Amino acid sequence: MGISGLLPLLKSIHRPTELKKYAGETFGVDGYGWLHRGAVACAIELAQGKPTRKYVDFAMHRVRMFKYFGVTPYLVFDGDMLPSKAKTEASRAKRREESKRIGLELLRAGKPSQAYAELQKAIDVTPEMARHLIEELKKEEVPYVVAPYEADAQLVYLERQGLISGIVSEDSDLLVFGAKRLLTKLDQHGQCVEINRRDFCAVREISLTGWTDSEFRHMAILSGCDYLEGLNNIGLKTAYRLIRKHKTPERVVRMLRFEGKHQVPENYLEDFQQAELTFLYQRVFCPRKQDIVLLTEPGPSVNVDEMPFIGAPIETEMARSIAVGDVNPITRQRIPVPRSPGKRRISQALAPASGPPRSLGKPIDEYFKDKGSRRIPLGEMDPNCFAIDPDHNSNATAADAPRPIVFPLPRPYLDSAEEPASPARPYTNNPRLLRRRSEPISKLLGLDPFGSSEHRRRTTGPVIQVYQDPASSTRPPKKARLCDDATDEEGASATPEKSKFFSATQQRKPAKKKETAQMLMSDDSVEEAFRSLPDFDSWRSEKPVKPSDEIAIFDEGSPEKKSEVVLPAAPLAESDNVEDQVEVPASSPLQHGPAEESQSQGPTAMTPLGELLKGFSYETARPRTRVVHGLPTPASSVHPTATPKNVHPPTTQTPLLTPLQRIGARALHRTTSGPTPTRPRTPVSGLKPKQLSVPSVDPASIPLPKVDMEELEALNRPLGSEDQIVPESDGENEENDDEDDEPKQACSGMRLDLSRFLYS
């Protein structure tokens, strides 16, 4: 279930990838999902009560696929259901029963296909089924855990703890829980799609730029989620608009009631808050502490006792028993150990643990201190050996029973810092940057209703390179509609900025589509870009110009290129050495002193533009993005989705740079490692530089428009391993990162992928 329509809404930040690109990492997976899919294959047998283990086979097949690709799966199973879900679960159970009945009838009636279809709806994944799978997982040393309540929350917790570096799931709820890295649409070949929280700023469908987790969550809940029915006629888009416009759920509800167009239940707000608290504080099992904890560390103002809806507390020993799969999380009864399916595996199971890396430090040792018993193939044990009296069993379990195997990841950066994961891929982590960016705006403004004190680990900052071209004729109206009423409410702070910007622009091309202009005005990604024009500052320090003139630079090249230039909203984000010339310190008087970042830049922080922008308190408080002004070959800033006209101009093909551009290009070149719109760094061997510049590629030959070449390159780069290799790198010593030192990395093999990717 989850939030219907959320994943499609984020389509523009879907990054096609393959599992093998995450080799060496551990990914959490939703065990229920795999079991369910496996169960579909044997729906009939299950409905008939026949013994079958096909669902186990399916899941294990996936496990092996993960291993094959070098990725460690960390299976997480659902536990008990939350009170808030109990009702819906009850009705679902009823429906399953109904489907089962109908299905079996159809079967008897000799309509197998219809029966099958019906029986698929009757599938119920039980703790016993999970237990069967768990037995196999133990044999293969696959880490797993049974969540006290929902697997989603558990997965996100594991991710925050750095026990996994991402989550493989089809459930969009994970994003609402705060997942940072989600892999979806995984197929049997290992193809999948990555959705990264840090890319949210790049979503094209709606502008989530600067949105906090809190706002995002509000939007999701408002549109309807598992914990709270949505209001009639309010889907995601509308919810987005409402939150954007009114900022807080309270105000949204007040407005809705005032307008009377929507009927809002009496206690909607209370329910809403409960839903949110459930997303925030649901109980999970911490493999490190071996105990129940809350998904989010509660602040002082949070009274857990007043939140029964997040699930009842669970005693430590019980929680452990549940976590390892010994006890049914719902009934709290011991789950009988299934009779051995796997005699063939005995030897393997008995084999001295080759499994988990040994030198892993103490938490791990703890997990393995019960090694002895773990080695005994449970499947071969007497099923009753665990059937102890309830009083006693918890103790026994805690001490003797197998525990989830937890591999501390070979990913130093995960544990090292507050700023965890900044993982891999096209990203780099500049803690400072992230920190800055993660400051919730609403907080700054004192708007956050439920005090989004939340997690410290939020990743909000813009990270990926986005080539939003507001002028792109592809989507203006939609966005305009989504944003327009936001603009009129946004108040004085925002408006002037826009008008300044656009008055300038419009003067230039008055006759140009008015529509477009309006759309632009309503598009805050423009503000975003404008606000953060990095190099404006630097430029100006050398040769001050009026903002409008700066804009002019963009426009001048060629009218249609304006779009490209205006927006590469950006990313930079990830450059490690951000503070160099390229970065625009500025923009946010509210948020941070230019202090640290501008050793060399100090002065630029308050350049004319900076001052200009001072007025826009709200806007400027948002995370900033970096824009790469047209310079480096325009090509680089062309997003694949750009209309052909954007791509074609021959001029874009010529890498001729003005001196100024060269400076900028050099700076960017040197300082960025993430996907940036900048002129390509040295391409991976096997690719000619030219191939990286978009114009040289026929747009038509690019099947996946959402990906741009820079990103592709970045994606194919072994950043994951970089992180591992350079654990402590604070970002200052990686100048060459994205350049030619790649060969050094242990990923020469991946290069092939790039070309494949490019031309497939």
Partner DNA sequence: GTCAAGACGTCCG
Partner DNA sequence: ACGTCTTGAC
Contacting positions for DNA (CB under 7 A): 5, 7-8, 120, 185, 223-224, 230, 232-239, 261, 477-478, 481-482
Q: Rounded to the nearest whole angstrom, what is the least distance from the CB of residue 630 to DNA in the complex?
A: 29
Q: Assign 612 to helix, strand or coil.
A: helix
3-state secondary structure 648-695: CCHHHHCCCCCHHHHHHHHHHHHHCCCCCCCCCCCCCCCCCHHHHCHH
Q: How many CB atoms lie within 10 A of CB 55?
A: 26
Distance from C-alpha of 206 to C-alpha of 492, rounded to nearest angstrom: 22
Which C-beta is closer to DNA: that of 236 or that of 277? 236
Q: Rounded to the nearest whole angstrom, what is the least distance from the CB of residue 61 to DNA in the complex?
A: 17
Which C-beta is closer to DNA: that of 220 or that of 687? 220
What is the total residue count of the chain? Answer: 760
Q: Rounded to the nearest whole angstrom, what is the least distance from the CB of residue 261 to DNA in the complex?
A: 5
What spatial distance separates the first Cα and last Cα of the chain, rounded to whole Å?
33
Instruction: Give the number of C-alpha atoms closer than 13 A to the C-alpha of residue 739, restricted to the C-beta side.
Output: 10
Which C-beta is closer to DNA: that of 36 or that of 669? 36
Which C-beta is closer to DNA: that of 14 or that of 139? 14
Q: Rounded to the nearest whole angstrom, what is the least distance from the CB of residue 234 to DNA in the complex?
A: 5
Residue 615 · residue 497 · CB < 8 Å: yes
Q: Rounded to the nearest whole angstrom, what is the least distance from the CB of residue 481 to DNA in the complex?
A: 5
Which C-beta is closer to DNA: that of 238 or that of 755? 238
Q: Rounded to the nearest whole angstrom, what is the least distance from the CB of residue 529 to DNA in the complex?
A: 22
Which C-beta is closer to DNA: that of 235 or that of 313? 235
Angle between helices 127-139 and 54-68 (to 10 degrees): 40
The strand pair at 144-146 and 72-77 is best described as parallel
Q: Rounded to the nearest whole angstrom, what is the least distance from the CB of residue 205 to DNA in the complex?
A: 8
Distance from C-alpha of 323 to C-alpha of 283, rounded to nearest angstrom: 12
Distance from C-alpha of 40 to C-alpha of 38, rounded to nearest angstrom: 5
Q: Assign 225 to helix, strand or coil.
A: strand
Which C-beta is closer to DNA: that of 185 or that of 288? 185
Q: Assign 572 to helix, strand or coil.
A: coil
Tokens of 755: 């070309």
Tokens of 408: 């501390």
Q: Rounded to the nearest whole angstrom, what is the least distance from the CB of residue 236 to DNA in the complex?
A: 5
Q: Rounded to the nearest whole angstrom, what is the least distance from the CB of residue 159 to DNA in the complex?
A: 23
Which C-beta is closer to DNA: that of 43 or that of 463? 43
Q: Rounded to the nearest whole angstrom, what is the least distance from the CB of residue 262 to DNA in the complex?
A: 9
Which C-beta is closer to DNA: that of 220 or that of 319? 220
Distance from C-alpha of 104 to C-alpha of 718, rounded to nearest angstrom: 51
Residue 223 · residue 239 · CB < 8 Å: yes
Q: Assign 170 to helix, strand or coil.
A: coil
Which C-beta is closer to DNA: that of 231 or that of 647? 231
Residue 190 CB partners (closer than 8 Å, separation 6+)? 18, 19, 20, 65, 69
Q: Rounded to the nearest whole angstrom, what is the least distance from the CB of residue 348 to DNA in the complex?
A: 34
Q: Assign 456 to helix, strand or coil.
A: coil
Distance from C-alpha of 230 to C-alpha of 223, rounded to nearest angstrom: 5
Which C-beta is closer to DNA: that of 58 or that of 309? 58
Angle at alpha carbon of residue 316, lines to 313 and 322, rounded to 5°? 85
